Chains A and B, each alone.
Chain A
């Protein structure tokens, strides 16, 4: 079915907003607990080897220390778990910073002091922590983390490149980056008999429940995971990391007591995932008219030796433009470091940097306007799947952005505009992100006519429950609006409940999939409810549903598109780079909540700006650790880095994506943003920077 929008499309402030601006909305660490205990871990100081001895005597002797757990004393976990979830299960060390012991104490100060007193002795083994594209350990994985094939070749791209009128060949590099949400990863765990109750900073209460049930050999029903408010995630709070298992493990040893553990900012550079570094060899071939005849995008990237994660870096190049021949490959270096994970637009974010900078270089080589070049290579059908598009409005985004950015008056000559000692330039890049629908989210609709939530004989209220997560994207507001339209009632009559496994299973806030996956489930449950009870139900009437499959999934290719425009200023003497202006124009189906959607787009663009100018986790390969392990060393964009930043979206009516007609918008804002800035920096200075972040030394 397709919903008729009433609440959808109308700006709706976040219902949880008043609590958030006061600081009253409870995040994981803040749930009240009587006499909680505090956990502080001991972390490995070597990248690979084994622990030969742990001396806990000084820690044990400290007043207030309740317990020191080591691999010898820790409770056993199930064997059937992710390799990095096996905390304190053996003496083996597979990464710097791995948990090797943990202290629980009555105060946080004591726990930290005691952890520092634990003496660990190691037998170190040889390790590899540098990404080296000539390494003999490189291998070709079967699939990307998305499940798509790691390599994909159509036609004969090498022959096409050899015969092309114009070619561009270049290597682009993107660094290891860390998510660093403002709320640290946090677990508050208590065992009540054989039940485990966890308040968790997670994008996916159901995934956390599944991981913990697996680790402790419990039925999923015996694990409760609660997360009504989450302080950002960006992918790092999607999968379950060792910190969550460790806290539950330690809590098991002190049954009935609540154990709290929030990672320090420094620990967040060790154990909760990151975006892996990539080396991207990109070649484009075109005929004299600027029509692509070949695209090759060959990637070497890092992963962890203990658990494979293949960033889908080149997948962006499979569907963006038409080309006669195409090759995309991924080779992986297994390093003795932590396990990478999804970070906002995994694949698309780094991959679009290589691909969209290369398009800019090709435009320059051809003498064709970079917008026009993209327009000339617009596909009729999706080049990857061979399917027609449910909707694709990239060209309209480019044209609208060009109009707003005065593109027609742009002198394409690089290094041609010097104003008050600053070289100015403008750049463009395209963006896309797939419409993702995860199966399995359970939604329930229940009428409430009596009691606290109802109003007796008046119009019914509806309780809508789903174990969705709001990490800041605006699920509280968006799902309320969707439920209101699905039940054809005003939003004031919806009581949404999310962020708790008590509401069943749900897919994560990830892959820009939440509104699609959860919204489709809520719509289905509402439809069943109305079929069964009409619009005048009795108190307690309820219906539920699970996310239905999309009947159009095999018929259409479904993606959101966008165009980024950036103005860059580079100081002629110092090389300082500033971005006074950014514009993003997006075509992403129906925008469910214009107020929060604008924030999501701006947020993605801001993180793209941050990646372009600042972010780089510096890995010291001698020790396998990130050196710049806090906000003093790992810079992210601040308020003063953001100039005029604006967002616009095009009306797009897409009946195929889901009942709301919406496409995911959490990630597309970052895709291509860094490329637009790099392209603008080239236009400003004539210097082509092919490695992120773009720092002043590149211009000196």
Chain B
């Protein structure tokens, strides 16, 4: 075959644990985590919106952190743990953020929603761990007890997840409710 400049047809064996279930698979080394889930494992909770890390619809928790699965090559994540929106709830129940999204109607078409929810889960943990954002007002403050999430902080930290239906106002309502319920707990 002519030299095409592609490294095609190179495959790798790997394992991924998705929503608590371990899978062994063989993938083209160009396959993303997102395509490994959707095309190889028929796990379609994470969505493909842009395939370029610009929309956030593919957001999953990869080894506990929110990650754009379309920008992650599967071969680089052998042995990793992936949690999709379908694996967030315990024992088949919905996660509190999922309940809040339903109650506030924080979605319309639903395509960006699993990514929004995974992102919100990861974001709340980041804030609890004291990660500042660009709108965190006092960077000199001791944030080890967590960042207080007002609506501006929530909106800023959720801005990697686009929603063309324009559910943002309700998304902030939903995340705000869970953030402050968790703080109060």
Partner-B contacts on A (CB < 8 A): 13-14, 16-18, 20-27, 29-30, 32, 58, 61-64, 107-110, 113, 117, 179-184, 229-232, 234, 262, 264-265, 471-474, 595-596, 598-600, 602-607, 610, 630-632, 636-642, 645
Contact = CB atoms under 8 A, between A and B. Distances in A.
A20 B89 CA distance: 14
A22 B114 contact: yes
B57 interface: yes
A24 B42 CA distance: 11
A6 B73 CA distance: 52
B39 A181 contact: no
A183 B117 contact: no
B51 interface: yes
A637 B30 CA distance: 31
Contacts of A25: 110
B101 A21 contact: yes
Interface size class of B (residues with CB under 8 A): 35 or more
Chain B facing A: main interface SS: loop
List the 8 closest pairs (A to B, CB-CB), nearest first.
Answer: A606-B166, A23-B45, A231-B111, A472-B109, A20-B110, A472-B108, A23-B114, A603-B166
Contacts of A17: 101-102, 107, 110
Given A13-B102, A598-B105, A229 B8 contact: no
B27 to A, nearest CB: 9
B85 A630 contact: no
A265 B47 contact: no
B159 A639 contact: yes
19 contacts: A13-B103, A16-B110, A18-B94, A24-B45, A25-B110, A61-B2, A109-B31, A182-B109, A229-B109, A231-B47, A231-B112, A265-B52, A265-B54, A472-B165, A595-B105, A602-B170, A640-B159, A641-B168, A642-B169
A599 B9 contact: no
A603 B50 contact: no
Contacts of B42: 32
Interface in B17-42: 28, 30-31, 35, 38-39, 42
B62 interface: no
B117 A21 contact: yes
A212 B172 CA distance: 42
A598 B60 CA distance: 29
B164 A24 contact: no
Contacts of A30: 38, 44
Nearest to B50: A265
A592 B112 CA distance: 25
B85 A21 contact: yes
Given A13-B103, A23-B46, A62-B1, A230 B109 contact: yes
Contact of B109 (A29, A179, A232, A262): A232
B111 A602 contact: no
A181 B164 contact: yes
Contact of A630 (B52, B114, B165, B172): B52
Contacts of B171: 639
B4 A636 contact: no
B49 to A, nearest CB: 5
Contacts of B69: none
Contacts of B52: 265, 630-632
A599 B103 CA distance: 12
A553 to B, nearest CB: 30
A473 B51 contact: no
Given A23-B84, A23-B85, A113 B6 contact: yes
A606 B164 CA distance: 9
Nearest to B87: A22
A603 B44 contact: no
B108 to A, nearest CB: 3
Given A231-B111, A603-B167, A642 B103 contact: no
Contacts of B13: none
Contacts of B85: 21-23
Given A58-B4, A631-B50, A181 B111 contact: yes
Contacts of B169: 602, 606, 642, 645
Nearest to A647: B169
A20 B6 contact: no
Contacts of A630: 50, 52, 54
B162 interface: yes
A108 B31 CA distance: 9
B108 A474 contact: yes
Contact of A638 (B28, B49, B165, B168): B168
A99 to B, nearest CB: 19
Interface in B150-169: 152, 154-156, 158-159, 161-169
Given A20-B110, A599-B105, A183 B170 contact: no
Contacts of A631: 50, 52, 54-55, 162
Contacts of A636: 162, 164
A637 B162 CA distance: 8
Given A182-B164, A602-B166, A113 B8 contact: yes
Given A21-B113, A58-B4, A231-B112, 19 more contacts: A17-B102, A24-B86, A58-B2, A62-B8, A109-B8, A113-B8, A232-B108, A232-B111, A472-B107, A474-B108, A602-B169, A631-B54, A631-B162, A636-B164, A639-B161, A639-B172, A640-B152, A640-B156, A642-B166
